[in-house]
């Protein structure tokens, strides 16, 4: 079994509505997929932030049998080759669907290297720079990327300022660049990376 510890994660209320995932996977298969991807990355110090209460997490770092998280959002943290990386997910209805979405994202990012697109694992850079909203070049890059891949459904400035513009632009981009509709895999991988940064931006953004 994968060497991982869980930590309580307060509900970020990142998405106004969470949706049923298009993929199917049991919790066991999810952890098998996650373990495979993390082993390929030589991951260490693996931590999953999830909605389990502290009292539901055993001394070995795993949730107690039968424990249910308060919400489905998760963040996977780990180090790989000396780099600290974070992968948040809050789009789906259950915590293991969100965890499986991260496993699929790791698989997609690894494919960038497999197809010779990356020259030095640059595809992971954004996940290492989840900085405060509006304070990093990564955030500006993410907004610009989503705007361009959506064929300018919105502008980068509006995407950063308003989650509605981000969601609309992201959905428009998916319809254009998803491999299932003839899009390029490298464009889809860039979109997923940019979306992770913008998700973190709106998670931390104060509500008025």
Out of 61, 87, 119, a domain closes at 119
Same domain, 74 and 141: no
Q: How confident is the model at residue 134 (pLDDT cuts 50, 70, 90)?
A: very low
Residues 162 and 86 grouped into a single domain: no
32 and 82: one domain? yes
pLDDT at 203 > cutoff 80: no
In a domain, 124, yes or no: no
On whether both 158 and 111 belong to a single domain, the answer is no
Q: What is the pTM of this model?
A: 0.58
The residue from 61, 90, 119 where one domain ends is 119
The model's confidence at residue 64, banded by pLDDT at 50, 70 and 90, is very high
- Compute the average pLDDT of residues 106-114: 76
Write down which residue in 101, 119, 137 finishes a domain.
Answer: 119
Length of the chain: 208
Q: In total, how many domains does the chain have?
A: 2
| Bigger pLDDT: 121 vs 99 | 99
Is 182 a member of any domain? Answer: yes
Q: For residue 126, what pLDDT is reported?
A: 56
Residues 9 and 97 grouped into a single domain: yes
Same domain, 56 and 114: yes
Domain residue limits at 32: 4-119
Query: Does any domain span residue 187?
Result: yes
- Summarize pLDDT for 165-182 with one digit per residue, the tens: 888 899 899 899 887 788
Same domain, 43 and 141: no
Task: Phi first, then psi: give them for residue 171, nearest 5 degrees.
Answer: -65, -40
């Amino acid at each position: 079994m994968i060497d991982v510890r869980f930590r309580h994660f307060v509900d970020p209320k990142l998405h106004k509505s969470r949706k049923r995932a298009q993929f199917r996977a049991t919790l066991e298969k999810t952890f098998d997929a996650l373990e495979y991807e993390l082993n390929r990355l030589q991951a260490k110090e693996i931590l999953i932030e999830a909605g389990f209460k502290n009292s539901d997490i055993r001394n070995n770092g795993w949730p107690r049998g039968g424990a249910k998280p308060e919400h489905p959002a998760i963040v996977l943290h780990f180090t790989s080759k000396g780099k600290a990386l974070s992968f948040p997910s809050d789009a789906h209805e259950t915590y293991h669907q969100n965890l499986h979405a991260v496993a699929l994202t790791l698989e997609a990012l690894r494919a960038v290297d497999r197809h010779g697109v990356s020259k030095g694992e640059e595809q992971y850079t954004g996940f290492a720079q989840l900085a405060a909203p509006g304070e990093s070049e990564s955030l500006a890059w993410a907004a610009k990327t989503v705007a361009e891949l959506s064929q300018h459904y919105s502008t980068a400035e509006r995407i950063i300022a308003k989650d509605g513009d981000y969601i609309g632009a992201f959905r428009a981009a998916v319809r254009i660049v998803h491999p299932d509709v003839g899009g390029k895999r490298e464009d889809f991988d860039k979109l997923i990376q940019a979306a992770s940064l913008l998700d973190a931006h709106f998670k931390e953004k104060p509500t008025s």
